[in-house]
Structure 1
Amino acid sequence: MSKDLLFEIGLEEVPARFIPNAIQQLKERMAAWLDSSRIAYGAVEAYATPRRLAVLVKEVAEKQEDINEEVKGPSRKIALDEAGNWSKAALGFARSQGVDPEQFTFKELGGVEYIYATKSSVGVPTAEVLSEGLLHVLHAMTFPKFMRWASYDFKFVRPIRWLIALFGSDIINLEIAGVQSGNVTRGHRFLGQDAVVERPADYVEVLRKQHVIVDIEERQALIVKQIEALAAEKDWTIAIKDDLLEEVLYLVETPTVLFGGFDPSFLNIPKDVLITSMREHQRYFPVLDRAGELLPYFVTVRNGGSQSLEVIAKGNEKVLRARLSDAKFFYEEDQKLEIKDALSKLESIVFHEELGTVGDKVRRIRRIADALAEKLRVSPDTQESVSRAADICKFDLVTQMVYEFPELQGVMGEDYARKAGEKEEVARAVFEHYQPRFAGETVPSTNAGAIVSIADKIDTITGCFSIGIIPTGSQDPYALRRQAAGIVQILLDRKLSATLSDVFNIAIDVHGTLGNMKRSDDEIRKELHEFFGLRVKKLLSETLRYDVVDAVLAAGFDDVASVVNRGAALMAAVQTGDRFKSTVESFNRVSNLATKAIHKSVNTGEFTEQGEKALYEAWYGAYESYNAALQEGDATQALALASSITPAVTAFFDSVMVMAEDDAVRNNRLALLAAIDSELKRFADFSKLVG
């Protein structure tokens, strides 16, 4: 027999950003407690609005499962003393298992007798343990911030105002922070009333009648449907951003979409400013035309019905007008600020107490970017753009607009730089040097933007490493992993010829000159190599088998494009099956014996067997083309050329005694294998391939 279980926690309004994790916790912790309590159950459904977190568990067994299990204890030799009495070890085992020692049995396992305790427990009715279990679940929940209220010691995300705890139609008796459980829920704050939930299965419909759409997916679908209907009616494109949609979803219980407008004169402000103001401050969805141009309208979601929407729209328009007026004022005031004056203000902004001001950082970025541009042999025009963009890349940090909207750094820099008469490539680089800001974002589209972006990111990483700030576990307060991944992605996507070592060496040299490093160059370089290696590994692991990743990484990842190309070529080869497997086996036989080589210098005059001559000719006949293919980045061709010697390797091992008695002959054969192996390992360590 089974019943449904409902647990609803009624709260004062919870911040929208806390709800997704909270409801996931409630669902998982409830399931975990039922599992640990040996209570069978069916589907677990979670519900949430700003005023409630709830979980509905279907088909919960009315009784715990009985248990009857054997637990192995110490061996007979340890369990009994010389007089045949139970030892301290045996008595301790009995206490830990809650059994009487006289209940022990002996069983042989692997030729040794052990004592076994048989634990039996009759399951109790589920109703008897639910109160304790629900309190356990409640107390176990965690939040980014907690609150205490009244005189209670209990902490939760927001004050608890009501509780529903139902097992079937029976109320589970529990109390928390002065709130007694019952079967009464609360409807929409203004449109609904208190309502009785007779059975857990009625929960969603009872709240629907009280103007609360408690099902999360249903509420989201309703919002999206209304927005799409409005867009079709008005011939608009309404930009639905996922994170904004999720936030709005947890701000309302009864969603009703409406729209309003604003003065078209505000469209003279950059589109990004208007969109950011609408999204971040007002939680509005911007409206675009078919060409993607911003229109003087906005869409919002009301927590209520469709009555008096005109009044609601006017109220929202009034608030937005004030916001946009502020933005317009900031925008106009910022344009009065000369770039050189903005740069001087950077000298008073601390980047890090041990790494100096933002002005110090900009000087390091300039030095790194110039050196990197020289390494890449860019054109004089690009070199000039790199230098200027590096000099001014952070100037917009002191503007009023970026102070108000930090997420617009770079966006405003580009706009203000262009208006100040900077070259287009320079203005664009000021924006692009922040890219990629997150995984999946595009990399800079210009060489100037790419170079300054790398310089900015490696400056931060090297500076932090130089003073001992290195990410550990989940701790990465300066987002160094993300910035390292960005450098890797830029080098790859922009096809820049610089290696990771080039980037490291330039940054370390600049920090040694302009910074305040507390650790040695070699120590920092080693840790940077390991740190970036993990980023490259993560990149490769998105598309390659783990053993293929390990194999190509072992051959080096300094050239990011090379390791990616080698990984793709090797993955394609291993997928051909047995045909390539024989090649790998041949390469590994070469590698195993190559470790015994004393030197790699091959003397063809020492050859005495046709098999070794044939192998030498096969390898060195392919070597020049193999080497050229590797250098040109044609990994597929390089692997094909390397694989072409497989028959010669097989014939060599079939006909030649490598470990000959004559020292000179043996060492020469080993040298041949070592020479081949060292070149193969430039492509991959084939011994790391599995199967």
Structure 2
Amino acid sequence: MGNYLLEIGLEEVPAHLVTPSINQLAERTQQFLLENRVQFDKIVKYSTPRRLAILVENIAETSESKDEEVKGPSAKIAKDAEGNWSKAIQGFSRGQGINPDELVLRGDYYYANKHIEGVATSDILTKIGDEVIGKMTFSTYMKWGNNDFLFVRPIQWMISLLDDVIVPFELLDVTAGRTSRGHRFLSNVEVVLNNADEYSVKLPEHFVIVDSEHRKAEISAQIMALAAERSWKVTLHKDLLEEVNNIVEYPTAFVGSFDEKYLDIPAEVLVTSMRDNQRYFEVYTADGSLAPNFISVRNGNSEYIENVISGNEKVLVARLEDAEFFWKEDQKLKIDDLVKKLAKVTFHAKIGTLTEHMARTKVIGEKLSVLTKLSSDEKEAVLRAADIYKFDLLTGMVGEFDELQGVMGEKYALLSGENVAVAVAIREHYLPTVADGILPESKVGAVLAIADKLDSILSFFNAGLIPSGSNDPYALRRAAQGLIRVIEKFDWHFDLAEFIAQFAGENHAEVLDFIRARVQKLLLERLDRYDIVEAAINSNIFDIAGMMESAYVIDSHKLHGPFKPAIENISRSINLVKKAEILGEADPVFFENEVEQKLYDTVCDLKEQWDEMPTEYKFRAIVHALAPAVELLFDNVMVMADDERIRDNRLALLGHVVDLTSSIADFSLINTK
């Protein structure tokens, strides 16, 4: 057993690519070792903006030996007419490195039994350059020199050490050795390692904290200490902390400030300037007010920190000056004037202008307001918001800080005297902005968000601009997922298929399949039963909230004793009903057995209260009342009776069962084996 160190030294990697890159390196190395039957305990990951490194702990000296059996040609073609081995057998034997006489006949085929000896791990690791590093993929590549090799950033050096021995390999003109490099500014020297275990010890001596989790903890501690000294409150935003962690090798946190006059600008603008544009952590006073200060992190030590602080303050002030200017100038604009100008702003060349998009959204929003049972005031707010909700795209502030679209719309709408519900909806219609982002809190904002997203999906599909594969330039998958999450949050039940049928378009079926696929994806992220998810999303009503609720309810009962027989009886009903050419109404006059009447009465009782029953109660009724009644029917009568009239009546009775259960899920898709 030994430890193997692999380090790839690079030019600075963009912060958002560091973590995915080191994860990929570790995963590919693990797969490479497993494929080559090399055992190890674990892979420790190290990363900075200038290096990706892994330490494979307790790696075996050799790969495992193995015996394997390889299926060869059939006995029919193994020998010629004279009884000699055929060319097929001879070729197979050569490929396996054995004599044809060593083959074993089992059944109708010949097999080669081979023993493969283990190989020295050091020999296997010489291939890691081509088999692991060379096969890595990235969203962004660079090419350098006169070669065709592409990587996330140019490779400057590599380490490949098995304990204290170099495992040599080359990639382009770089040969792996035992030499790393220190911090670019604080210790720009070569760092020679005697063995793999020295890596995490020697590099910090040269101002490189290679353990990203250790570095992140150090950043967090420094920031919190600075805040505590000044009685400030600070939030260590997860994404920001990750980004800052991946732009430094040796962190030193510091405090900067700006003139209090800028606090007259909306806090969201200041926070965007600091957090999103400059990667600063905003700070708040004890009473929760934004302070005229920020905390940032330097890639270096505390020497000349005053110059660093001054430089960062100047950069921030330049941004705040722009923000202050736009804030004042935008307040001179009138919403109605901006809305009129939207008629000249293209939503998409094949679809039309923003004004047309807003008009379609208004129609959808109005109809949706009725379905979701909004109050008259809420409906009025939806219509007003739909008339103006994109106006802030033409403001100077949003032109400079596009992250603030919607946010500034709310601010300017309130300043212009718009209803609070309208202003909030203008901000909330963009939500969620990312897959798992926050959702609208108001019903008005939720309806506008759904209407806006639905019109985008319908419009792009009607224009033939449909996502394919991983290609989704207009973020329609994100729009669909956002639409689904909003509907689920507010528990709004309506048939989306019927709803979108009211609007022009020839691609409604494709739109529904597209949205159904997003429902499926969301559910599979939360549940581990693919068959249950499939059953729920294939109910006979395209009720998004209902589909998701059904999946959760069915999944919660999957381990209960009555679950299996209930699903099997309902599934059998579905399969029998599929055989009927025409299903009529079940008529008690033609019942020949009391079990038919019992099932009929059960169905009638449930129908009377079905629409008002929560999904949980519906499913329990299926399991504990309906399915047992169906089972009694199967145990006591022949559904497919010879008498056509009796057979059709029994199929009609099962049809009523299927009508009820199909509103929950297609139970025939659930696996009970």
TM-score (norm 1): 0.88
Q: Distance in 2 between matches of 1:601 and 1:587?
A: 19
Q: Distance in 2 between matches of 1:118 and 1:614?
A: 64
Distance 1:96 1:403, change over 3 A: farther
Q: How does 1:159-198 map to 2 (within 5 A)?
A: 159-192=154-187, 193-198=189-194
**Equivalent in the alignment of 1:516:** none
User: Secondary structure at the residue paired with 1:182?
Assistant: coil
Pairing 1:285–2:281 present: yes
Distance 1:378 1:60, change over 3 A: closer
**Equivalent in the alignment of 1:107:** 104
Q: Distance in 2 between matches of 1:682 and 1:152?
A: 61
Deviations 1:301-324 (A, max 9, x none): 111223343343222222211121
Larger deviation, residues 2-11 vs 370-379: 370-379
Larger deviation, residues 527-536 vs 169-178: 169-178
User: Secondary structure at the residue paired with 1:35?
Assistant: helix
Task: Using the TM superposition, give the Cα deviation of residue 570 of structure 1 relative to its aligned residue in structure 2, in angstroms.
Answer: 3.8
- Out of 295, 299, 304, the position equivalent to 1:299 is 295
Which amino acid counterpart does residue 242 of structure 1 have in structure 2? K
Pairing 1:549–2:546 present: no
Deviations 1:271-311 (A, max 9, x none): 11111111122110110234433111101111122334334
Larger deviation, residues 246-255 vs 610-619: 610-619
Q: Distance in 1 between matches of 2:407 and 2:427?
A: 5
Distance 1:163 1:326, change over 3 A: same
**Equivalent in the alignment of 1:681:** 662
User: Secondary structure at the residue paired with 2:501?
Assistant: helix
User: Secondary structure at the residue paired with 1:48?
Assistant: strand
Q: Distance in 2 between matches of 1:592 and 1:29?
A: 46
8 Å Cα contact 2:200-2:211 kept in structure 1: yes
Q: Distance in 1 between matches of 2:586 and 2:57?
A: 75
Task: Using the TM superposition, give the Cα deviation of residue 10 of structure 1 relative to its aligned residue in structure 2, in angstroms.
Answer: 2.0
8 Å Cα contact 2:6-2:161 kept in structure 1: yes
Q: Distance in 2 between matches of 1:154 and 1:652?
A: 70
Q: Distance in 2 between matches of 1:70 and 1:6?
A: 35
- Out of 265, 270, 274, the position equivalent to 2:270 is 274
Task: Using the TM superposition, give the Cα deviation of residue 430 of structure 1 relative to its aligned residue in structure 2, in angstroms.
Answer: 0.8
Larger deviation, residues 295-304 vs 559-568: 559-568
Task: Using the TM superposition, give the Cα deviation of residue 29 of structure 1 relative to its aligned residue in structure 2, in angstroms.
Answer: 2.6
Task: Using the TM superposition, give the Cα deviation of residue 195 of structure 1 relative to its aligned residue in structure 2, in angstroms.
Answer: 2.4
User: Secondary structure at the residue paired with 2:228?
Assistant: helix
Task: Using the TM superposition, give the Cα deviation of residue 411 of structure 1 relative to its aligned residue in structure 2, in angstroms.
Answer: 0.7
8 Å Cα contact 2:575-2:668 kept in structure 1: no
Deviations 1:592-640 (A, max 9, x none): 55455554333333344444344434443x1xxx234332242333344
8 Å Cα contact 1:629-1:635 kept in structure 2: no
Which amino acid counterpart does residue 231 of structure 2 have in structure 1? D
**Equivalent in the alignment of 1:500:** 496
- Out of 323, 328, 353, the position equivalent to 2:319 is 323
Larger deviation, residues 366-375 vs 356-365: 366-375
Pairing 1:537–2:524 present: no
Task: Using the TM superposition, give the Cα deviation of residue 649 of structure 1 relative to its aligned residue in structure 2, in angstroms.
Answer: 4.4
Distance 1:103 1:120, change over 3 A: farther
Distance 1:232 1:653, change over 3 A: same
Which amino acid counterpart does residue 105 of structure 2 have in structure 1? E
Task: Using the TM superposition, give the Cα deviation of residue 6 of structure 1 relative to its aligned residue in structure 2, in angstroms.
Answer: 1.9
**Equivalent in the alignment of 2:253:** 257
Deviations 1:394-442 (A, max 9, x none): 1112222222222211111111122222222211111111112233334
**Equivalent in the alignment of 2:233:** 237
Task: Using the TM superposition, give the Cα deviation of residue 662 of structure 1 relative to its aligned residue in structure 2, in angstroms.
Answer: 4.2
Task: Using the TM superposition, give the Cα deviation of residue 571 of structure 1 relative to its aligned residue in structure 2, in angstroms.
Answer: 4.1
Q: Distance in 2 between matches of 1:173 and 1:20?
A: 26
Larger deviation, residues 411-420 vs 65-74: 65-74
Where does structure 1 lack aligned partners over 5 or more consecutive residues? Answer: 513-520
Task: Using the TM superposition, give the Cα deviation of residue 503 of structure 1 relative to its aligned residue in structure 2, in angstroms.
Answer: 3.7
Deviations 1:172-212 (A, max 9, x none): 44444444443222212222243221111011111111111
Distance 1:112 1:442, change over 3 A: same
Distance 1:85 1:585, change over 3 A: closer
Pairing 1:397–2:393 present: yes
Q: How does 1:306-345 map to 2 (within 5 A)?
A: 306-345=302-341
Larger deviation, residues 391-400 vs 667-676: 667-676
Q: Distance in 2 between matches of 1:38 and 1:611?
A: 62
**Equivalent in the alignment of 2:625:** 644
**Equivalent in the alignment of 1:672:** 653
Q: Distance in 2 between matches of 1:594 and 1:145?
A: 54
**Equivalent in the alignment of 1:517:** none
User: Secondary structure at the residue paired with 1:644?
Assistant: helix
TM-score (norm 2): 0.91
Q: Distance in 2 between matches of 1:358 and 1:438?
A: 22
**Equivalent in the alignment of 2:58:** 59
Q: Distance in 2 between matches of 1:158 and 1:66?
A: 38
8 Å Cα contact 2:90-2:100 kept in structure 1: no
Task: Using the TM superposition, give the Cα deviation of residue 353 of structure 1 relative to its aligned residue in structure 2, in angstroms.
Answer: 2.0
Q: How does 1:459-470 map to 2 (within 5 A)?
A: 459-470=455-466
**Equivalent in the alignment of 1:349:** 345
Task: Using the TM superposition, give the Cα deviation of residue 267 of structure 1 relative to its aligned residue in structure 2, in angstroms.
Answer: 1.0
8 Å Cα contact 1:544-1:568 kept in structure 2: no
**Equivalent in the alignment of 2:609:** 629
Pairing 1:212–2:171 present: no
Q: Distance in 2 between matches of 1:380 and 1:629?
A: 29
Task: Using the TM superposition, give the Cα deviation of residue 481 of structure 1 relative to its aligned residue in structure 2, in angstroms.
Answer: 1.9
8 Å Cα contact 2:248-2:298 kept in structure 1: yes
Pairing 1:19–2:18 present: yes
Deviations 1:561-580 (A, max 9, x none): 333444444445444313x5
Task: Using the TM superposition, give the Cα deviation of residue 220 of structure 1 relative to its aligned residue in structure 2, in angstroms.
Answer: 0.9
How big is the alpha-carbon RMSD for the aligned residues of Structure 1 and Structure 2? 2.9
Distance 1:674 1:426, change over 3 A: closer
Q: Distance in 1 between matches of 2:172 and 2:593?
A: 90
8 Å Cα contact 1:438-1:482 kept in structure 2: yes
Deviations 1:2-22 (A, max 9, x none): 432222222222221221122
Which amino acid counterpart does residue 535 of structure 1 have in structure 2? R
**Equivalent in the alignment of 1:149:** 144
Pairing 1:481–2:477 present: yes
8 Å Cα contact 2:103-2:112 kept in structure 1: no
Distance 1:690 1:63, change over 3 A: closer
Q: Distance in 2 between matches of 1:33 and 1:595?
A: 50
Which amino acid counterpart does residue 137 of structure 2 have in structure 1? T
Q: Distance in 2 between matches of 1:566 and 1:31?
A: 39
Which amino acid counterpart does residue 15 of structure 2 have in structure 1? A
User: Secondary structure at the residue paired with 1:163?
Assistant: strand
Pairing 1:431–2:427 present: yes
8 Å Cα contact 2:595-2:632 kept in structure 1: yes
Task: Using the TM superposition, give the Cα deviation of residue 586 of structure 1 relative to its aligned residue in structure 2, in angstroms.
Answer: 4.5
Post-superposition, which runs of at least 4 consecutive aligned residues in structure 1 deviate over 6 A?
A: none
Task: Using the TM superposition, give the Cα deviation of residue 450 of structure 1 relative to its aligned residue in structure 2, in angstroms.
Answer: 2.0
**Equivalent in the alignment of 1:518:** none
8 Å Cα contact 1:12-1:51 kept in structure 2: yes
- Out of 132, 141, 153, the position equivalent to 1:158 is 153
Task: Using the TM superposition, give the Cα deviation of residue 469 of structure 1 relative to its aligned residue in structure 2, in angstroms.
Answer: 2.5
Distance 1:5 1:321, change over 3 A: same
- Out of 375, 395, 407, the position equivalent to 1:411 is 407
8 Å Cα contact 2:215-2:251 kept in structure 1: yes
Distance 1:224 1:89, change over 3 A: same
8 Å Cα contact 1:223-1:257 kept in structure 2: yes
Which amino acid counterpart does residue 251 of structure 1 have in structure 2? I
Q: Distance in 1 between matches of 2:559 and 2:635?
A: 27
Which amino acid counterpart does residue 663 of structure 2 have in structure 1? R
- Out of 484, 490, 495, the position equivalent to 2:486 is 490
Where does structure 2 lack aligned partners over 5 or more consecutive residues? Answer: none
8 Å Cα contact 2:3-2:57 kept in structure 1: yes
